Amino acid sequence: MPVINCSLKKVSAERTRTGIENVNVEVKNNIKFLGVNEVSDDFRSDQWKTIAFSFIFFSGVYPDIGKIRMEIEVVAVLEDKVANDYLDNWVDLKRINDETYNIVSNMALTKAQISALALSRDLGLPPPVRLPQPKTKNRDATGSSSKGALADLT
């Protein structure tokens, strides 16, 4: 599936509480598929259609510390018959096939998580995704490990 764009359509973020040093903080994320719709595109021929898959991403920091909400659109160009099948299935059955859903939802989720990470940093909220943490070794007062500086690089 040739995806031509993955973009944020709407973003809202707020920090509702300060002073969270002694609070047990929990971050919950959710992404919801909203639907498929045809996008008008004057550049494509009659054999191709441009369709958009819409999502909402929500990240909440509890208890009532902050929230981030985004509307995301993944736009793809498909052959006319394939695009019509997607649109008809959505209208009639409110579903799309699993392979397509995996592709577009992963793109939307990646876009949302990266954007939410930047927003959470700017608002002073905990990150919505786990970040890697370096493992510490026994270090002396200079910051070197007991094996020497070159041993840390291997």
Domains and CATH numbers, the chain: 3-128 (3.10.420.10)
Question: What value does the mean pLDDT take over residues 83-100?
Answer: 87
Residue pointed to by tokens 């909440």: 60
Sign of CA dihedral 35, 38, 44, 45: positive
Chain mean pLDDT for the chain: 84
Determine if the peptide bond prior to 63 is cis (ω within 30°): yes
Out of 24-28, 44-48, 130-134, least confident range: 44-48
Report which secondary-structure segment, H or E, holds 20: none
Position 70, amino acid? M
The pTM assigned to this predicted structure is 0.77
Read off the pLDDT band of 142 (50, 70, 90).
low
For residues 119, 110, 38 and 10, what is the CA-based torsion angle, rounded to 10 degrees?
-10
